Amino acid sequence: MGRPRQFDESELLDAATELFWARGFDNTSVQDVSRATGVGNGSIYSAYASKRGLFLAAFDRYCEQRALFVRDVVSRAPGSARDAVRALFEAVIADCAAHPDHRGCLMINSVAELATRIPEIRTIGARTTAAMEQIVAERLCRTGHFTEDAAAVSAHSANIVVVAQGLIQLSRLGLPAQRLHEVAAVSWQSLPASWADA
């Protein structure tokens, strides 16, 4: 049985996530995390074995939080299935606006930059994306009036998640919120008309 950790793990991983997200994996060291948190290098290495281990712990936690973000938005959205999709896109755009440095999404950034070097990133990213798709599918099917078959729901859910991730990428390129809302509107308005009642 290992020794209990002598630091607040949530606070450490929050700080590590911020650093990795803002600077990237290669430009962030364990020493940087140590300086930001006051947790000694030795304690960090003891808990996570390496910078890679620390990054994966922070990345996995970030991805879980992103899936929870999607669940929170679509499960709370009142109204129809189309309303829930619109609410998700609007929440994503608002979240992008909260990061004026245009840092994008740590999951998407890391899959693009590191998946060939750190294969676990691809696994975690795929698992998170699948979870998001399932969350959206469950919301779409929540009402008994929704008549799409399972294959159609799965395809629509995947498309909705792709659009949400695409909005984040467009934000990273510096597109203004107004343009993001226009792109989102084209997507949610093109959903089946029956979704407005579902």
pLDDT digits (tens, 9 = 90+) for 93-115: 999 999 878 789 999 999 999 99
Angle at 91 between CA 89 and CA 96, to 5 degrees: 95
pLDDT tens digits, 113-166? 999 999 999 999 999 999 999 999 999 887 655 666 888 889 999 999 999 999
End-to-end CA distance of the chain: give it in Å, rounded.
Answer: 52
Question: Whole-structure pTM over 0.95, yes or no?
Answer: no
Quick one: CATH architecture of 56-193?
A: Orthogonal Bundle (1.10)
What's the confidence (pLDDT) of residue 1? Answer: 41
Contact in structure between 5 and 35 (CB atoms under 8 Å): no
Contacts of 118 (CB under 8 A, 6+ apart): 52, 55, 56
